[in-house]
Amino acid sequence: MNSPAAMRMRLRGMIRKESLQILRDPSSIAIAFVLPVILLLLFGFGVSLDAKNIRLALVVEQPDTRTASLTGAFRGSDFFATVSFNSIQEAEQALTEHHVDGILWLRNDFSSRLLDGGNAPIGVFVNGVDANQARITEGYIQGVWQLWLASYAREQGSALPVSVELEPRIWFNAALRSRNFLVPGLIAVIMTLTGAMLTSMVVAREWERGTMESLMVTPIRIWEIIVGKLLPYFVLGMGGMLLSVAMALWVFEVPLRGSFWVLTAVSALFMMVALGMGLLISTVARNQFVAGQIALVATFLPAFILSGFIFQISSMPAPIQVVTHIVPARYFVAILQTLFAAGNIWPVILANSAALLLMMVIFLGVARRKTRKRLD
Amino acid sequence: MKQSLQRIVALAIKELLAVLKDRKSRIVLVVPPILQLIVFGYAATFDLNDIPVAVYNEDRSAPSRELVSHILGSPHFHLYAEIDHDGQIAPLINNKAVLGVVHIGPRFSADLLQGLAPRVQVVIDGRNSNTALLMQGYLRGIVRDFNLAWARRSGRPPPAAYLQVRPWFNSNLVSRWFIVPGIVGLLTLVITTIVTALSVAREREAGTFDQLLVTPMRPVEILIGKSFPGVLIGAIEGTFILLMAIYWFDVPLRGSLGALYTGMFMFLLSAVGIGLMISSLAVTQQQGMLGAFLFLVPAVILSGFATPIANMPDAVQLLTYVNPLRYFLIILRGVFLEGDTADILFHYYWPMAVIALVTLSLAGWLFRHRLN
């Protein structure tokens, strides 16, 4: 019974059964291949933090050449789509009704104060509801203002007041293209979903239909059931993963600076973690309704919000940072963003892979224990 | 009429029991939303706090120290290490020990005193471009304040013009005020969808749906009975999350609650409609769950919850018009922060009503016409 040959036979039988089940119900294949492609296309194009065409209202109470040079600087900027208003009241109305995102207001004494010793105020209102976008808008307005100050000083023949200049050097993504970090992060989110969805129902389904008991009376061992169930889905999941990576490279043109083989190896590890998580959910829930709900709650939103994919983990309060450590996507996001943008930086890759390995062992170990316990 | 009402009430009670009778189902409906609200409410922020930076100050003079203390004194940054040669920069950044290195050259104070503009180099980890952009913005602000203070003290003229920035509705630009109202919509959508998405599929799988169809109940009555638990549970949990947003997270509620609840009711109806439509299309629970996922994930990501809809390409923006969460988020944020009332929000009510009408009718039609 325990001979390697018998074990191989049982395992092969189990894998064959699961594979047939996959082939007969196309929904698994859809989850593995169609889901990642659609989601990646939709989100890769849809999710962007690069503010462009910020709608800026210009209110100039007393137009002259000086105000024209300032408003011209904003009109010429790629970041802004400017609209002129005659009075500040009209502009404020437009801001309230979401027709513009910000207002630049030059009061009627702007030019006279400019000539009279400087320090003329430029009124800026931005819609602060989306604080992140407001801050980015403010940053762009400051950039235009500084350029204008320099050119104005040149025109007047006066030296610019001595000031420290900031010289930012952005490593890894000099153009600050948000797609370059969002697309690898999305792969992690989508793969968490795919992996967990593939397996979260499979064991629960057997319990619900009563076929788990039938499986239990065969000589097959628990871990053989687990391996037999995981392997076919692993193959499917990796197919979807490679498809996503290919899309990141060729559809979204995200540069891959690290090695493709490291990426594949880490992806395989992560796929095992995601499948293991689904299997654990399935084993604990034993009921498709509950399994589905847990899978939804435990995978998508945590991977989206707590993985560092979009929200910076180091800015979160300390207790929440602790919580992020139990989100597998966190480690995968760190590895993917590093591999794509920076290259094979081993300290980052190894530390996060070790965490993933640990999570895989825990998920599969607990799933195995739970299965045995419930049988007794 | 009275009989019809009786039948609807009976079905509604039965549906509610089907969801709530199982202890595990009750737990998954109540515990995760509360946990998620608290965790996500704190986690989902674009504000940078305590970002680790390293300082490489080659000019150990008073002005350069002052600039460094301006940077480290802000709540956004904290000192991870002081370094003393170029070679230390790359490992710190590469290994994510710091997100930025401020490099002040040896001639900083000499240049400043001589009236030459000294440059301060900052190396920023661009792996997360949004963080990099924000960091750059914070540093620019700090340097600008330093320059103004320096000009004032050394008796130099101020710049020709200065910016007087006033953010509306959220004067301190707290990103939690933007995200937490969003979470109200997000979690309400998730709860409502999972309550309804399996309700028909479960009965089809068990075979009891055919029995329901041969009772005197009309499809409309089934539809109302099946919608009831989703709307009720969604409204109760939505209210709870709303209270948490106001009293726990201290997000100001400036508009009218009536306007908010009108929006929530429309939103719940449209979410229930979509859930029931998915459920009527599915033959098995697995398919129902898959359908719920396929709806929820894009609905969340393409709703404007975290990334603005205005940044999306036109084709994707068109898609967001059929997403009820898109409208509900505008309503939530409008009522919370901008003090909106029902008349301003009318444009966001009716699209949800249309979505609800279409999806509920389709679901009712599918009860009898689902082809196997």
Q: Are A215 and A321 contained in the same domain?
A: yes
Residue B323, phi then psi, degrees to nearest 5: -100, 110
Burial class (CB in 10 A: 0-12, 13-18, 19+), B97: middle
- List the domain range (segments joined by +) for residue A94: 54-156
Residue A164 lies in a domain: no
Q: Are A43 and A69 contained in the same domain?
A: no
Q: How far apart are the first and last CA of chain A?
A: 21
Q: Which residue in the set B127, B167, B287 is minimally distant from A341, CB to CB?
A: B127
Crossing angle for the helix pair A179-200 and A328-341, to the nearest 10 degrees: 140
For residue A304, give how far its alpha carbon lies from the nearest alpha carbon of chain B (Å).
9
Q: Considering only CB atoms, which chain A residues are within 8 Å of B137?
A: 135-136, 138-139, 142
For residue A100, give how far its alpha carbon lies from the nearest alpha carbon of chain B (Å).
12
Which residues of chain A from 236 to 275 reach within 8 Å of chain B, CB to CB?
none
Q: Are A236 and A144 contained in the same domain?
A: no
Asked whether the predicted pLDDT for residue B60 surpasses 70, the reply is yes
Q: Which residue has the higher pLDDT, B57 or B195?
A: B57
Q: Are A104 and A21 contained in the same domain?
A: no
Per DSSP, the three-state class of A326 is: coil
Per DSSP, the three-state class of B284 is: coil
Q: Are A117 and A183 contained in the same domain?
A: no
The answer to whether A301 contacts B40, with C-beta atoms less than 8 Å apart, is yes
Q: Give CATH for domain B51-153.
A: 3.40.1710.10
Crossing angle for the helix pair A179-200 and A260-285, to the nearest 10 degrees: 40
For residue A179, give how far its alpha carbon lies from the nearest alpha carbon of chain B (Å).
9
Residue A351 lies in a domain: yes
Q: Are A43 and A83 contained in the same domain?
A: no
The answer to whether B117 contacts A48, with C-beta atoms less than 8 Å apart, is no
Residue A240 lies in a domain: yes
Residue A172 lies in a domain: no
pLDDT of residue B180: 92
Q: Which residue has the higher pLDDT, B354 or B49?
A: B354
For residue A339, give how far its alpha carbon lies from the nearest alpha carbon of chain B (Å).
10
For residue A319, give how far its alpha carbon lies from the nearest alpha carbon of chain B (Å).
9
The answer to whether A171 faces chain B, any CB pair under 8 Å, is yes
Closest-CA residue of chain A to B136: A168
Interface test with B, best of A305, A310, A322, A339 (most B CBs within 10 A): A305
Which residues of chain A from 26 to 55 reach within 8 Å of chain B, CB to CB?
27, 30-31, 35, 39, 42-43, 45-53
pLDDT of residue A158: 67
- Most confident of the ranges A4-8, B81-85, B321-325: B321-325
Pair B290, A32: CB distance under 8 Å? no
Residue A168 lies in a domain: no
Q: Are A371 and A351 contained in the same domain?
A: yes
Which residues of chain B from 206 to 245 reach within 8 Å of chain A, CB to CB?
none
CATH code, A72? 3.40.1710.10
* Nearest residue to A299 (alpha-carbon basis) of A363, A204, A222, A366: A363
Percent of chain B at pLDDT > 70 equals 99
The answer to whether B316 contacts A45, with C-beta atoms less than 8 Å apart, is yes
Q: How many CB pairs under 8 A join A and B?
A: 358
Whole-structure pTM value: 0.85
Q: Which of A94, A122, A156 is the last residue of a domain?
A: A156
CA distance A206 to B206: 15
Please report, in tens digits, the pLDDT of each residue of chain A (376 residues total). 568 888 888 888 888 888 888 888 777 787 788 888 888 888 888 887 777 788 999 999 989 888 898 999 999 888 899 999 999 999 999 988 888 999 999 998 888 888 887 778 899 999 988 888 888 888 889 889 888 888 888 887 766 665 777 788 888 888 778 888 889 998 998 888 888 888 887 777 777 777 877 877 788 888 888 888 888 889 988 999 999 999 999 999 999 999 999 999 999 999 999 999 998 988 888 777 778 778 877 888 888 889 988 888 888 888 999 999 999 999 999 999 999 988 898 999 999 999 999 999 999 999 888 876 455 4
Which residues of chain B from 241 to 270 reach within 8 Å of chain A, CB to CB?
none
Which has the minimum average pLDDT: A280-284, B45-49, B159-163, B260-264?
B159-163
Q: Where are the alpha helices (DSSP H) in chain B?
A: 2-20, 23-43, 62-73, 89-94, 108-114, 129-153, 175-197, 199-206, 208-214, 219-247, 257-281, 285-301, 314-320, 324-333, 342-369
Which residues of chain A from 310 to 329 reach within 8 Å of chain B, CB to CB?
310-312, 314-317, 319-320, 323-324
Q: Where are the alpha helices (DSSP H) in A97-221?
A: 110-115, 131-156, 179-200, 202-209, 211-216
Q: How many domains does chain A have?
A: 2
Q: What is the mean pLDDT of residues B159-178?
A: 84
Residue A322 lies in a domain: yes
Phi/psi region, residue A278 (left: phi>0; alpha: psi -120 to 50; beta: rest), is alpha
The answer to whether A126 contacts B178, with C-beta atoms less than 8 Å apart, is no
* Nearest residue to B138 (alpha-carbon basis) of B86, B173, B171: B173
pLDDT of residue B356: 95
The answer to whether B186 faces chain A, any CB pair under 8 Å, is yes
The domain limits of chain B are 18-44+174-369, 51-153
Q: What is the mean pLDDT of residues B301-319?
A: 87
For residue B191, give how far its alpha carbon lies from the nearest alpha carbon of chain A (Å).
9
Per DSSP, the three-state class of A372 is: helix
Which residues of chain A from 183 to 242 reach within 8 Å of chain B, CB to CB?
193, 197, 201, 205
Asked whether the predicted pLDDT for residue B372 surpasses 70, the reply is no
The answer to whether A149 contacts B160, with C-beta atoms less than 8 Å apart, is yes
The answer to whether A300 faces chain B, any CB pair under 8 Å, is yes
Asked whether the predicted pLDDT for residue B371 surpasses 70, the reply is no
Q: Are A128 and A65 contained in the same domain?
A: yes
CA distance A85 to A102: 12
Q: Are A36 and A58 contained in the same domain?
A: no
Q: Are A199 and A339 contained in the same domain?
A: yes
Q: Which residue has the higher pLDDT, B24 or A129?
A: A129
The answer to whether A82 faces chain B, any CB pair under 8 Å, is no
Partners of B36 in the beta sheet? none
CB proximity list for A207: less than 8 A, separation 6 or greater: A286, A287
Q: Considering only CB atoms, which chain A residues are within 8 Å of B124?
A: 168-171
Residue A130 lies in a domain: yes
**Residue A226 is which amino acid?**
I
pLDDT of residue A375: 52
For residue A265, give how far its alpha carbon lies from the nearest alpha carbon of chain B (Å).
20
CB proximity list for A313: less than 8 A, separation 6 or greater: A306, A321, A324, A330
Q: Are A106 and A248 contained in the same domain?
A: no
In which element (H, E) is residue B162 found?
strand B161-168
The answer to whether B40 faces chain A, any CB pair under 8 Å, is yes
Burial class (CB in 10 A: 0-12, 13-18, 19+), A45: middle
Q: Are A77 and A35 contained in the same domain?
A: no
Q: What is the mean pLDDT of residues B248-258?
A: 92
Pair A170, B182: CB distance under 8 Å? no
Residue A18 lies in a domain: yes
The answer to whether B297 faces chain A, any CB pair under 8 Å, is yes
List, for residues B96-153, the tens digit of each pLDDT value: 899 999 999 999 998 888 877 888 999 999 888 888 888 988 898 898 889 888 888 8
List, for residues B10-21, the tens digit of each pLDDT value: 889 988 888 888
